[in-house]
Amino acid sequence: MSAAIGRLCAGGALLGAGVLALPARAQAPAEGAQPMQKVEIVGTSIRQRLAAQTALPITTLRAEDFAKQGLSTVQEVLATIPMNQTSTGSSQSVGSGTGGRATANLRGLGSDKTLVLLNGRRLANHPFFADTVDLNIIPVAALERVEVLRDGASAIYGSDAIGGVINFVTKRSYRGMEVSVEAYQPAGSGGGDEQRINLTGGWGDLANDGYNLLGIVDFHRQSALMATDRDFARTGVRPERGLNRTSGTTFPANFYSDEGISGNPSHASGCQPPYSMPNAGAAPTCRFDYTQFVDLIPLTKQETFLGRFSKKLGADHTATLEYLHSRSTNEAHVAPPPLAGIGLTMSNASPFYPGAGITPAVAGLAGEPLDISWRPMVTGKREGLDVSLTDRLLASMEGTAGGWDYNAALSYAVGRARSAFTGGYVVDARIIEGVGNGLLNPFGEQTSAGNDFLARSQLLGEYLRAKIKSGAIDVKASRELMTLPAGPLGFALGGEFRRDEADYRVNRALASQASSSGYADAQDQSGSRNIGAVFTELNIPVIKDLEVNLAARYDDYTDFGHSFNPKVALRWQPTKQVLVRGSFNKGFRAPTLYDLHGPQTTTNTSNTWNDPVLCPGGTAVPAANPNLACDQQQNRRQGGNPDVKPERSRTYSAGIVLEPVNNLTLTADYWDIRLKDQISALAEESIFGDYQKYQNLYFYNAARTRLDYVLAITQNLGEVKTRGVDLGLLWRLQRGHWGNFTLGVDGTYVDRYDYQNERNGPFTINAGRYADASPVFQWRHTATLGWTRGPLNMILSNRYLSGYDDQPDANGVVPGRVGHYSTWALAGTYTANRKVSVTAGVKNLLDEDPPFTIQGTTFQQGYDPRYTDPLGRTFYVRATYKF
């Protein structure tokens, strides 16, 4: 096969932080030289001899580089990519039910529209939500590189590749033994420290011995960091900054009487600081600062094993058997259980009734029954354990036969997850009984009998188990069909069949006993589907230095019919110094099995809201309990919806690559994405912000004296329109007496991000401002300055996120501007010899705190944990020894 196949790169790869330049096209090998090895590149099904500047913008991160920068997790690695708008990690599982998963969100379109691959093939999605791979399961120690296709690829990989593709590529062949140990220690008080150890062993050389056996074991642990360990996040009450995130379910308890009296016996004495404080409003009640009980980072552990055996079968064929096993655990804490609106009633027969002798009297009470809103502090924080396991077995064959390059595989992947109560949750019926019979004191300290009763009222055990299975067979082949005047005509053809199954089992006997679990009324759910697909790709050299790539994919879903997705890309290089590229593609994404069949749960809203019916304008109507209706975390019902329909997209991109001098590469790529019928849940900010529009989503009890929940299940919203430009610079300075220098800048500017909450509705502007549930950063960049001299390598890096307008308050008023976030890191690696290397460095060199925000979408307050790091300055060391 001619070396000119290297020009078949209209769908190929761009190596090195989005800007690293290699020769623009392949050259014929010199006489006697070894032919270049053909490589598989994300974004195309046509095998390449040389990965070069191509029609599609691709960022490639080498494992040896991010290891030197102290990036300890895959989520941290992807946070350095500016087009990844969300940096959600395990910390976001605190109180938010993510099951401890970490995700990526290319272009801000949602993690469910970012396709994650391992060696070019799918993994099982995380069972909770079933919409994306949990990045925690990726074996960091096994990686050779990470490829990020910054353009939609539905025509090549499938319907869920609308936002882009992330392909994790492991070491293909390795000989020897290697052990690495890492330690990370924040300079501030508290936890958050990390440790990692990995062992790598490889036997046999694939080229010379005809086989290779690779085994990698990796262990990672990060201790918990509590909110009280950081001043900027220790409380939700900062009136001088406009932050007041508290709950009306508190200790000592608030009450509401049948005669319309609302109060707290401890209000006159100042409640019980520092956790409880007087209500700033007119009602003589107390408020609870729940933020002080939340983990900023939960205790997390990951164990991963990757084993692969490859065997040459003759000169042209290689068979591989690969097994991946990963286990991730996440232990999170939130405030003690809020017990409100569950029928918790105290009569005047209780010795703890206000004015009965133990509890201070409250004016106006005449012995009528009291409805209690209480947190039993003595039971402690609510503790939850999430465990996720992933197994994938892959058998593949690749090689050349009859002039075709082929690759075929049979895979089976299983993702399992379970969640359990490990402390702090209580049985509602027991608490109702204890308060009703006068044994429990919601207004003060418990008696020994009360403490014993509470200890025996705790709810422990597994309440949710989920499993997702995916079996697949795929095959693809490529070759040159003929040689045209301008070069070879490349062609690829492939097919895939996949069966996905999801199953969710709720322990009804356990979960139904605690309203604070969120799963009190959740039901078992399950679903399955078959997906068949055929795809083809054609690379046409039209004239000298102008290539057009055509691709198309036909998918057939047993539950949603068929979809046809075309893609067109071109590459034009008029001179050695200039390359112009562009593409157009369409996408189609069917709802996930969780979108359709996920259990519906009822949990608290993140923010506090006034019930628009029972507490309009902050004043309770007659017969409404203000402790439930006014300025409270309301109930929100979320989960799957069998009526959800697919979403569709179209993407344009156009770019230019310049090399004005040999060692300087400049890139600019414009992108424009339009998404229709977005699959998502309506944000609580939208529902409570416009009652007239969304009143059909409010569900009250029969007497309309209590809001049971607002409905925020998955549904089809409106359109999303976003556009922007990716900019890159790479300057490689010539070798000199002082060593080699490299300067790289990779940035993304989002000019527009508008979305609709319903079809044909008004568009909300999100770029540069916090809209509904999150901001979209208009500018993000990662900059690195590298220096190498002999055995020493130094890297200075900067990660920057632009500021934005803060989350509006309940009246739609923007309280101010969230500042930019810029952190520096310095790392040095000393390679003593072929066996020993040591890396030491510091992350967040200047100990920069995250910028202040009043956001209330997460349980952590004072900053936004989805985009910033609460650890502060962190020192680390990594040592590697090769046997």
Paired tokens of 233: 């996040």
Low-confidence ranges of the chain (pLDDT < 50): 1-37, 49-52, 88-98
Dihedral angle computed from the Cα positions of residues 276, 277, 281 and 284, in that order, rounded to the nearest 10 degrees:
80
Helix (H, G, I), strand (E, B) or coil at 689: helix
Contact 27, 50 (CB under 8 A): no
Contact 6, 36 (CB under 8 A): yes
| Residue 23 confidence (pLDDT) | 28
CB under 8 A, 24+ apart: contacts of 436-442:
436/345, 436/346, 436/347, 438/349, 438/350, 438/351, 438/352, 440/352, 440/376, 441/352, 441/358, 441/359, 442/251, 442/252, 442/253, 442/344, 442/346, 442/352, 442/372, 442/374, 442/376
User: Which CATH topology does 3-229+297-335+384-425+460-600+639-682+717-882 take?
Assistant: Maltoporin; Chain A (2.40.170)
Helix (H, G, I), strand (E, B) or coil at 445: coil
| Residue 772 confidence (pLDDT) | 87
| Residue 25 confidence (pLDDT) | 29
Is cis: bond before 274, omega within 30 of 0? yes
| Residue 2 confidence (pLDDT) | 33
Specify the length of the chain in residues: 883
Residue with tokens 């690695």: 77
CB under 8 A, 24+ apart: contacts of 807-814:
807/685, 807/770, 807/853, 807/854, 807/855, 807/856, 807/857, 808/770, 809/242, 809/854, 810/609, 810/610, 810/688, 810/689, 812/689, 814/769
pTM of the model: 0.89
Neighbouring C-beta atoms of residue 366, cutoff 10 Å: 10
What is the rounded CA–CA span in Å between residue 434 and residue 344?
A: 9
Neighbouring C-beta atoms of residue 246, cutoff 10 Å: 25
Domain ranges in the chain?
A: 3-229+297-335+384-425+460-600+639-682+717-882, 603-638+683-716
| Residue 87 confidence (pLDDT) | 52
| Residue 131 confidence (pLDDT) | 72
What is the rounded CA–CA span in Å between residue 51 and residue 752?
A: 32
What is the rounded CA–CA span in Å between residue 414 and residue 123?
A: 9
What is the rounded CA–CA span in Å between residue 501 and residue 17?
A: 37
What is the rounded CA–CA span in Å between residue 155 and residue 27?
A: 29
Measure CA of the first residue to CA of the last residue in the chain; give whole Å. Answer: 39
Dihedral angle computed from the Cα positions of residues 847, 851, 855 and 861, in that order, rounded to the nearest 10 degrees:
30
Helix (H, G, I), strand (E, B) or coil at 385: strand
Q: Where are any strands of DSSP class E within 820-863? A: 821-831, 836-843
Paired tokens of 486: 């301008």
Among residues of the chain, what percentage have pLDDT more than 70?
92
| Residue 158 confidence (pLDDT) | 75
Summarised one tens digit per residue, pLDDT across range 67-120 is 778 787 788 888 888 888 765 444 433 334 445 677 888 888 888 888 888 888
What is the rounded CA–CA span in Å between residue 226 and residue 751?
A: 37
- Per DSSP, 137 falls in state G
